[in-house]
């Protein structure tokens, strides 16, 4: 029995996990943003209590969790892209999604770029919250590292957007190489929107601008209606 690769048939599980992780992170952040973090805390009855509600552990943990989930989505996206450019895995599409073999390398460097970014995301996905360096003469002897976690998370979010844009480019090229076959209404609209800013690749060209344009479009895809 022939089965699709995990990067194809397990996409709902990986993507769904990322969505659930985002929902969980949103709930935690909403709680923490509305919490009292003063230290000491001064109560109406005159009590002054030195506590630790300012500690960033809750948000540090969800920042790391979300970073890991985004790195995983970027990883599975790159694997789908890799299959598109590999003639032995793409079910009849031309190698590197180009019909002009020879000097033309087509989408080869798009996949190479995605692979490099995913490797970076995997490194950045190492949790910041498991680290701690004492400060303030060891008074602050267990810190959350949540700020570093937030910075890494932002970097991985940018990487994910770029990698999804690269898959977007390759997938559109692949669909068009299957013409006159058509995809779903929503996906055809997504291809049309891409073609407003990035033309179909016939002969090799500098792809950095194409990848940047596709990355920007990824932010708008949720607005496409059936």
Domain span at residue 86 reads 6-134+144-223
Name the residue among 132, 151, 130 with its Cα closest to residue 141: 132
Per-residue pLDDT averaged across 32-59, rounded? Answer: 92
pLDDT attached to residue 224: 65
Residue 21 lies in a domain: yes
Q: What is the CATH number for 173?
A: 1.20.200.10
Q: How many domains are there within the chain?
A: 1
pLDDT in tens, 134-166: 999 999 999 999 999 999 999 999 999 999 999
Tell me the angle at which helices 146-176 and 208-218 cross, rounded to the nearest 10 degrees: 110
Distances (CA, A) of 28 to 21, 59, 64, 79, 150: 11, 7, 13, 31, 14
Note the pLDDT of residue 104.
Answer: 78
Confidence of residue 103 (pLDDT cuts 50, 70, 90): confident
Residue 161 contacts by C-beta under 8 Å, 6 or more apart in sequence?
215, 218, 219
pLDDT given at position 89: 95
In a domain? residue 188 = yes
Cβ neighbour number for residue 108 with a 10 Å cutoff: 16
Q: Can you say how many angstroms the Cα of residue 226 is from the centroid of all Cα atoms in its chain?
A: 24
Residue 94 DSSP code: P
Q: What is the mean pLDDT of residues 12-39?
A: 95
CA 222 to chain centre: 15
Predicted local confidence at residue 175, as pLDDT: 97
Distance CA 81, CA 168 (A): 9
Whether pLDDT at 102 is above 80: no
Q: Can you give the pLDDT at residue 179?
A: 96
Query: Is 139 inside a domain boundary?
Result: no
At residue 101, the pLDDT reads 73
Is residue 65 a part of any domain in this protein? Answer: yes
Q: Which residues contact 117 (CB under 8 A, 6 or more apart)?
A: 74, 78, 159, 162, 163
């Amino acid at each position: 029995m022939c089965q699709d690769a995990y990067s194809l048939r397990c996409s709902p599980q990986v993507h769904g996990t990322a969505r659930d992780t985002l929902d969980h992170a949103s709930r935690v952040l909403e709680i923490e943003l509305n919490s009292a973090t003063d230290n000491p805390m001064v109560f109406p009855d005159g009590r002054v209590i030195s506590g630790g509600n300012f500690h960033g552990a809750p948000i540090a943990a969800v920042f790391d969790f979300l970073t890991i989930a985004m790195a995983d989505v970027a990883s599975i996206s790159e694997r789908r892209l890799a299959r598109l450019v590999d003639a032995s895995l793409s079910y009849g599409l031309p190698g590197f999604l180009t019909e002009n073999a020879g000097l033309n390398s087509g989408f080869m460097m798009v996949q190479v770029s995605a692979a490099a970014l995913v490797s970076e995301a995997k490194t950045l996905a190492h949790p910041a919250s498991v680290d701690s360096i004492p400060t303030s003469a060891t008074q602050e002897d267990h810190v959350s590292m949540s700020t570093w976690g937030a910075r890494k998370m932002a970097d991985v979010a940018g990487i994910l957007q770029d990698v999804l844009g690269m898959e977007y480019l390759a997938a559109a090229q692949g669909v068009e190489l299957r013409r006159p076959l058509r995809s779903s209404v929503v996906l055809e609209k997504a291809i049309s929107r891409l073609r407003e800013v990035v033309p179909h690749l016939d002969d090799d060209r500098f792809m950095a601008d194409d990848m940047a344009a596709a990355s920007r479009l990824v932010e708008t895809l949720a607005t496409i209606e059936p």
